Amino acid sequence: MAFFNRRPALTASRSQPESSSKRLLREHQEVAISSWRRLWQTPFSNLLTWLTLAIALALPAALLLLLSQAQHLGAQVNKSSHISVFLAANVSQEEGLLITQNLGSRPDITQATYISAEQALVDFKASSGLEDILGSLTDNPLPATILIEPANTSLSPEAVAILAKQLRQQEQIDQVLVDMAWLDRLQAILETSERFTYSLALLLALGVLLVVGNTVRLQIESRKQEILVIKLLGGTDAYLRRPFLYAGFWAGLFAAVIAWIILLLGVAYLHQPLMSLAQSYQSDWQLQGLSWFGSFVLVIASCGLSVLGASLTVGRQLRLIEPK
């Protein structure tokens, strides 16, 4: 019979040898395209899945974005935190200037500025609006002050505290003021937010795995007949798994794009009030959107989690479907 007899001729005319890697690449291309087409057969339910995934991704991403920038802001505030050194009343202006000079030459201090008692009084009069009352005083109640800006290397609150302690030990110095409590509090808030964000990110990543896993389980259920026939015709596990892994990949990609848009809108919405807040602290800080690198990480994390979620489910589900 012609059909079977033609076997040698057909074999000879096959456009082989196609190398196994080339063949694998072609098969992957075919599956990527066919699973892409399959997405648009049920666009509405897919969109719902993507939105769910996108929200689960956007929430921790937004918190991480805020946190990293708040840390940046915190560092800025910390850097600009001054130490006020009040000199004892019996220290003369010459002595005061000498101490200032000495302090200014220390490696852990960027700048030391001497403010004489008279200058302090003038400043205070101008800023407090109590000119009349202060003018009636015969003595200047204010001490001379040295404003110290710690060096960049001593950013941590601990380093600032040590510096303050050292300053207090000098006998010409009456009092050293650092708003340590405020710095400590900021640090604690940042650390708490950080841990909270990481825990939330972990839980939501688990959520992504479960959502994708469940979606894939339903897809497998709806294609049960096809899977049975393919198993009987000798389809390997890898062949059967592939379309579902690609479905996971596409879901991850779309979820990342939607999450990116949510973040963009969120940043635009928060930009104005946050800028006003920063301005009230004399900071020119601005909320930045996701960087190129951040967007890249978002896409990789989303696709990676989705493919992982799909692969965790697909093997087990496929084993449950055996021709009987």
Partner 1 sequence: MINFEQVSKQYHDKSALVNANFHLQRGDMAFLTGHSGAGKSTLLKLIMLMERPTSGKVIVDRQDLSQLNRAEVPAHRRKIGLVFQNHQLLMDYSVFDNVALPLKISGYNERDSGRRVRAALDKVGLLDKEKLSPQVLSSGEQQRIGIARAIVNKPKLILADEPTGNLDPALSAEIMHLFQQFNQVGVTVLIASHDLELIQHLPHPVIQLNQGLISAPLSVRGQ
The footprint of partner 1 (CB under 8 A) covers 1, 3-7, 10, 14-15, 18, 23, 26-27, 225-226, 228-237, 239, 322-324
Q: What's the closest the beta carbon of residue 12 comes to partner 1, in angstroms? A: 12
Q: Toward partner 1, which CB reaches closer, 39 or 253?
A: 39
* Cβ-based nearer residue to partner 1, 221 or 322: 322
Considering the complex, what minimum distance in angstroms separates the CB of residue 187 from partner 1? 56
Which residue's CB is nearer to partner 1, number 125 or number 231? 231
Nearer to partner 1, 106 or 231 (CB): 231
Nearest to partner 1 of 151, 230 (CB atom): 230
When the beta carbons of 158 and 322 are compared against partner 1, the nearer one is: 322
Q: Least distance (Å) from partner 1 to the CB of residue 64?
A: 42
Q: In terms of CB distance, is 41 or 169 closer to partner 1?
A: 41
Q: Which of 39, 69, 50 is nearest to 302 (CA)?
A: 50
Q: What strands lie across the sheet with 173-177, from one edge to the other?
A: 109-115, 145-150, 83-87, 173-177
Least distance to partner 1, CB of residue 317, Å: 16
Query: Shortest gap between Cβ of 226 and partner 1 (angstroms)?
Result: 6
Residue 141 vs 315, nearer CB to partner 1: 315
Q: Which residues, 6+ apart, have CB-to-CB distance to 161 below 8 Å?
A: 178, 180
CA gap 150, 148 in Å, rounded: 6
C-beta of 35: minimal distance to partner 1 in Å? 14
The answer to whether the beta carbons of residues 259 and 294 sit under 8 Å apart is no
CB of 220 vs partner 1, minimal distance in Å: 15
Please give the C-alpha separations between residue 209 and each of 37, 296, 300, 307, 309, in angstroms, as whole numbers: 23, 20, 14, 9, 4
* Least distance between partner 1 and beta carbon 192 (Å): 50
- CA-CA-CA-CA torsion for 153, 158, 159, 161, nearest 10 degrees? 140
- In DSSP terms, 177 is beta-bridged to 84
